[in-house]
A and B are shown apart, each in its own frame.
Chain A
Amino acid sequence: MSVQLPPYRPVKHRSGLKVMGAAFHALLMRELQTRFGGYRLGYLWAPIEVIFQVAIYLVIFGAIMHRVLPGMDYKLFLIAGMVPYQMLSRIANRSLGAVEANQGLLMYRSVRHIDVIIARSFLELVIYFFTFVLLIGLLVLFGAFSISLANLHIILFCWITLFIFSFGLALIMMVIGYYGGEVSKIVSLIFTVLYFASGIIYSIHIVPEPYFSYLLYNPFIHNLELIRHALAPNYPAYHIDMGYFLKWMVGINFVGLLLYKAVEKDLIRSK
């Protein structure tokens, strides 16, 4: 049996952006198939995970927080903080081992480390944003709480800026994970601390001064609190400084891209 070659269409020289776009598309589709193809519940795993955590904290802190939380339902408070934070920590933590994990993909020249990071981060954004909308939508539908629809653009803005922040962080994490050795273990620890220092399960308003001001140095708090304020306008906003978060975002991306550019060649060099 003889097989016919497909018609001659030489592989073209493309501009860098086109190559990157093709790599992004291909990687995204591949990630989608890999991540969810193997599980029966597929895409639902992300919401289920969040629901589980929300349920736990509701049982533990529900009664207390109900009394001290200003102007917001505790369930909504939890979801509004937890889902975006999980996106961030997922993107950052997965990047720690990215260089080794990507080895198989990098045998195709048009795939670079940064493409894989972009595709994976973007997928996390989609998954967690979908989770966010789904959970809040369902709970509003069942009358668990009500939300304000006046500030949806602000919520979207917060998500996108948090995503960009996460991307810059992911680049830094990838470099740390590759060169850092044991430092990467400490990074995981830091994220656990940050989880509790970002006001995810408690409102930072119950923290007294001067610790309240210290907490505000944490950039995530400003983003998460703004999401909460946008969802429930009664939730206080006097402490939020989005400009501060945006400065961090630009700084982190600057450092991340710079680091990546500096070590890009070294990442693929066999030693």
Chain B
Amino acid sequence: MIEIRGVSKSFMTKQGRHYLFRDLNLTIADKQSVGLLGRNGAGKSTLLRIICGLDEPDTGEIVTNSTISWPVGVAGGFQGSLTGRQNVRFVCRLYSSGDYIDEKIRFVEEFADIGNYFDMPVKSYSSGMKARLTFGLSLAFDFDYYMLDEAGAVGDAAFRQRSEQILAARREQAGFLVVSHNLGDIERNCDIGIVLMNQTAHVFEDTKEAIEVYKEHVHKAKK
């Protein structure tokens, strides 16, 4: 379970303090898949970072006893001059004990399926290849929660199919927090929807409803 208690986060801008959200309270149950919706700049990624412990809120706290992945984005925090294998090994060393590193690496290699590039410096990768690698890497570990920030929405048909399969298997054991602008994905795969708007979070038990509200909100903002 992840409990978000009274979290506020703001940024200082030249026009004054800009609040992303004020006094946010949420509870994410075990093995729950949550779709996070909101306009660009609504604070979706920041919220993920705060939950992951990579950013500090102004006030409030995250209470959890679960293991949480890093925010899996499209780029990944890879060191460009190292090969994909070296980068993967680095993360394995952080999260896994030595005996299991090889099986993790083998999985990432098969999953990302980038051929010889796996042993070439990451700076020679295309953005699609990087995204495949970072997505595969996060799925190699058995976290209680995965934080996906527009991750996995890349690659060819075969890769997508593989992703769906692995994600389906993961959903049996773990919770997800998904940021995506692909509304179809969220509707299909998530149990509940959360819309970040007007500096607070609106929780909807039905993802369809969340998507409706989100669409209306975006539409209104346009006018």
A residues lining the B interface (CB < 8 Å): 1-13, 22-23, 25-26, 29-30, 33-34, 37-38, 104-111, 265-266, 268-271
Contacts and interface: CB of A to CB of B under 8 A. Distances in A.
Nearest to B95: A11
B72 to A, nearest CB: 10
A11 B170 CA distance: 14
B1 interface: no
Contact of A270 (B11, B90, B141): B11
Interface string B143-164: 1100000000000001000100
Given A11-B143, A37-B81, A104-B77, A111 B94 contact: yes
B198 interface: no
B210 to A, nearest CB: 26
Given A30-B82, A109-B52, A270-B11, 6 more contacts: A1-B162, A4-B107, A6-B107, A30-B79, A104-B79, A106-B54
Contacts of A37: 81-82
A120 to B, nearest CB: 14
B56 A11 contact: no
A22 B93 contact: yes
B144 A10 contact: yes
B100 A109 contact: no
B70 A11 contact: no
A25 B90 CA distance: 9
Contacts of A111: 94
Contacts of A12: 67
B79 A266 contact: no
22 contacts: A1-B158, A2-B162, A6-B103, A8-B173, A9-B96, A11-B95, A11-B141, A22-B94, A26-B91, A29-B89, A29-B93, A34-B82, A37-B81, A104-B78, A104-B79, A105-B77, A109-B53, A265-B56, A268-B54, A268-B56, A269-B56, A271-B11
A266 B56 CA distance: 7
Given A8-B142, A11-B142, A34 B81 contact: yes
B12 to A, nearest CB: 6
A108 B82 contact: no
A21 B71 CA distance: 23
Interface string B52-88: 1111100000000101101100000111011000100
Contacts of B55: 268-270
B193 to A, nearest CB: 26
A154 B142 CA distance: 49
B103 A29 contact: no
A268 to B, nearest CB: 6
Contacts of A7: 103
B118 interface: no
A3 B169 CA distance: 11
A27 B111 CA distance: 25
A107 B77 contact: yes
Contact of B111 (A3, A13, A271): A3
B90 A26 contact: yes
Contacts of A22: 93-95
A3 B93 contact: no
B56 A5 contact: no
B212 interface: no
A106 B180 CA distance: 23
B50 to A, nearest CB: 9
Give the residue among A2, A3, A8 with the most B Cβ atoms within 10 A: A3
A79 B95 CA distance: 41
B104 interface: yes
B71 A107 contact: yes
Nearest to B170: A5
Shortest 3 CB-CB distances between A and B: which pairs? Answer: A26-B93, A269-B56, A107-B77
Contacts of B165: 2-3
B166 interface: yes
Given A13-B67, A268-B56, A270-B11, A3 B162 contact: yes
B77 A108 contact: yes
A25 B92 CA distance: 11
A2 to B, nearest CB: 6
B25 interface: no
B82 A5 contact: no
